[in-house]
Amino acid sequence: MNTTISTHTTALEAHIVRGRLETEGVPAFVVFENHIWANWSLSVALGGVRVQVPPSYVEKAGQIITDITTGKYQAVLEEETDFSAPLHCAYCNSVTTVQVNWPWKLALLAIFLLGIPIPYTQHLMKCEKCSRTWVASEQRSYPLSVPAIFILVLGAIVFVIFSFWCEWCKLHCEQPICI
């Protein structure tokens, strides 16, 4: 029987820990993730997503979890990567740039209006000298047309299903709802 070594509120966090454990040679398993994928807002109520390891690896896994929480792996990453280099403006080559994080408001609005969590990964950069905004090339994701096309296709599918339902109701119901 496997032993739970860490509990997370999202399945992504649990899979990141599982990946680190497997990289270090510890077999790890993510359990109870399907309920969280289905309704992530119930994560705390359901006990979260658990990462489990075989009993013979508990001590080694505990040390790896400690290294993760103390920031050992983050320190190694920071040593290998130079984060001190300023980001230059794509238009005027100025180094006076700031990060603008407005997409989180759209993701929050989507959660409240649609009940769908939408991750936001794009961060806009703004030049304080020329006032232009852009998405840094290392942070680019899919173009804005992709979600727009997805929404249009989803709307068309809903329309077609509703149309078929109305036609079926006209033929088989005594008092059809759709006219």
Residue 158 and residue 129 share a domain: no
Between 24-28, 43-47, 142-146, the lowest mean confidence (pLDDT) is in: 142-146
Residue 76 and residue 30 share a domain: yes
Segment 87-95 mean pLDDT: 79
What is the number of residues in the chain? Answer: 179
Number of other CB atoms surrounding residue 126 within 10 Å: 15
Residue 119 and residue 65 share a domain: no
CA distances from 157 to 47, 49, 83, 147, 176 (A): 36, 33, 46, 15, 22
Residue 73 and residue 12 share a domain: yes
**pLDDT higher than 70, residue 71:** yes
pLDDT in tens, 16-30: 999 999 999 999 999
pTM: predicted TM-score of the whole model, two decimal places: 0.50
Residue 44: inside a domain: yes
Residue 166 and residue 137 share a domain: no
Residue 86: inside a domain: no
Predicted local distance difference test score (pLDDT) of residue 137: 62
Residue 160: inside a domain: yes
Segment 77-86 mean pLDDT: 69
Predicted local distance difference test score (pLDDT) of residue 67: 92
Question: Residue 77 gets which letter from DSSP?
Answer: H
Segment 122-144 mean pLDDT: 72
> In whole angstroms, what is the distance from residue 149 CA to residue 153 CA?
6
At 85, is the pLDDT very low, low, confident or very high (cuts 50, 70, 90)? Answer: low
At 132, is the pLDDT very low, low, confident or very high (cuts 50, 70, 90)? Answer: confident
Say if residues 88 and 60 touch (Cβ distance below 8 Å): no
Where is pLDDT greater, at 106 or 43? 43
At 138, is the pLDDT very low, low, confident or very high (cuts 50, 70, 90)? Answer: low
Residue 91: inside a domain: no
Residue 163: inside a domain: yes
Residue 90: inside a domain: no
Residue 152 and residue 113 share a domain: no
Residue 60: inside a domain: yes
Where is pLDDT greater, at 26 or 76? 26
Residue 24 and residue 56 share a domain: yes
Residue 105 and residue 42 share a domain: no
Residue 172 and residue 103 share a domain: no
Q: Which domain holds residue 111?
A: 98-141
What does the DSSP assignment read for 125-162?
EEETTT--EEE-GGG--S-THHHHHHHHHHHHHHHHHH
Residue 47: inside a domain: yes
Residue 73 and residue 26 share a domain: yes
Residue 76 and residue 17 share a domain: yes
Residue 102 and residue 168 share a domain: no
Run of H or E residues at 12: helix 11-23
Tell me the average pLDDT of the chain.
82
Structure tokens at 99: 């990060």
Number of other CB atoms surrounding residue 36 within 10 Å: 23
> What is the total count of domains within the chain?
3
SS3 call for 86: coil
